Amino acid sequence: MELFNVYSLFDIEPVKGRGCYVYTADGTEYLDFYGGHAVISIGHSHARYLWAVSHQVSRLGFYSNSVRNSLQEQYAAKLGAASGYDDYSLFLCNSGAEANENALKLASFQTGRDRVLALRGAFHGRTAGAVSATDNPSIIAPYNMSGKVDFVGMNNIETARAMLSSGQYAAVIVEGIQGVSGIHEPSADFLKAIAEAAHKNGTLLVLDEIQSGFGRTGRFFAHQWVEGVRPDIITCAKGIANGFPMGAVLISPAINARKGMLGTTFGGNHLACAAALAVIDTIQEEKLVENACEIGEYIIERLRDIPQVKEVRGRGLMIGVEIEGSAPELRKRLLFEGKIFTGGAGQHTVRLLPALCVTKRDADKFINTFTTIISNFE
């Protein structure tokens, strides 16, 4: 049996990692400024994380959600305190797409409506509901919900207000910062305007913080850069458990819950919760949100000084570097010549998503290598 053809693969196989570095079997070291697509939050092979997962698997790896799991209760309390949403309830699942599916379903249950408003450039996942709210026709199969989803341009306040005033939408879903489209951030005025319009017209505001959450932008959630915006639902995944599959939905107390409305087999299992507890404790004790803000600002400012860079977008350690030439080719050269992993977003943007433990020394190494390679890049 062969693997299904999903991605074009680089012929490199990391077999171990430490902090912001990964290594192949022959010992070649690579600086990881991709973080496995923003998944590695506290760094590869963090000692606390290794202990938590190995200790838990030695006790109990899994049991059904039909019985009490005190790890879930501990995690809900810590996440509420760390995020500032301690009055919300928590539903644990397995991925970002699953989190968004459940968020949109909750909004429909709550409002009795069946339509969703999303943003141009959005990416919310690949399952039927989440992909329908994703602005990429090439990945939407005939089996989807796209007839129930409308799109509005980023920062187009008046059009968004007009669409929401129709009163037909269960939810408006917005990424804290759009990642897949190339690191595009909704303006503060836009975010405030749609929050107000949604509230006025009985639509729930869903903040997709799957890539931009857990400290990546220098706030626990990216939308917290905008004062006064409090979503009805927040979805999380990626950096939540440092590589262990996990997703979460934070749900406003205004939303009515009933048994059977949501459900999951593997969500919030013992190993996932142990991993997530290690992550949130590490983020707080090592002040990784503050580090993301400080080192991210340093990287952004240094990148803006490079003549070949057209534009730098983002916050914290969620950075898009736009160039005139081919970003895929630049990424290849960074990988094979510079021994640096980066992410991509279209033909002209390189995405940087390093672990939140990245140091100034790591940043300088990246900048110096990036500058050398782009200076000789055509």
CA angle 41, 280, 219 (to 5 degrees): 70
Taking the complete model, does pTM exceed 0.85, yes or no? Answer: yes
Q: Say if strands 204-208 and 233-236 run parallel, antiparallel, or are unpaired.
A: parallel
Mean pLDDT of 132-151: 92
Confidence of residue 143 (pLDDT cuts 50, 70, 90): confident
CA angle, residues 192, 125, 315, in degrees to nearest 5:
45
DSSP state of 116: E
Asked whether the predicted pLDDT for residue 377 surpasses 90, the reply is no
What mean pLDDT is predicted for residues 54-79?
96
Beta-carbon contacts of residue 68 (< 8 Å; ≥ 6 apart) = none
Mean pLDDT calculated for residue range 120-128: 96
pLDDT over 80 (residue 177): yes
Torsion-angle region of residue 228: left (phi > 0), alpha (psi -120 to 50) or beta? left
Alpha-carbon distance of 35 to 354, in angstroms, equals 5
The per-residue pLDDT for range 296-350, each reduced to its tens digit, is 999 999 999 999 999 999 999 999 999 999 999 999 999 999 999 999 998 999 9
pLDDT of 378 over the 80 cut = no
Mean pLDDT in the chain? 96
* pLDDT tens-place string over residues 243-259: 999 999 999 999 988 88
Q: Environment class of residue 185 by beta-carbon count within 10 Å: exposed (0-12), middle (13-18) or buried (19+)? A: buried
- E-strand ranges in 262-370 read 309-315, 318-323, 340-341, 343-345, 349-352
pLDDT band at 216 (very low <50, low <70, confident <90, very high): very high
Task: Give mean pLDDT, residues 52-68.
Answer: 96
For residue 259, what pLDDT is reported? 83
- Mean pLDDT, range 11-15, rounded to an integer: 95
* Residue range 278-306, pLDDT digits in tens: 999 999 999 999 999 999 999 999 999 99
pLDDT of residue 257: 82
Q: What is the pLDDT of residues 188-209, one digit of tens each?
A: 999 999 999 999 999 999 999 9
**Binning pLDDT at 50, 70 and 90, where does residue 146 land?**
confident
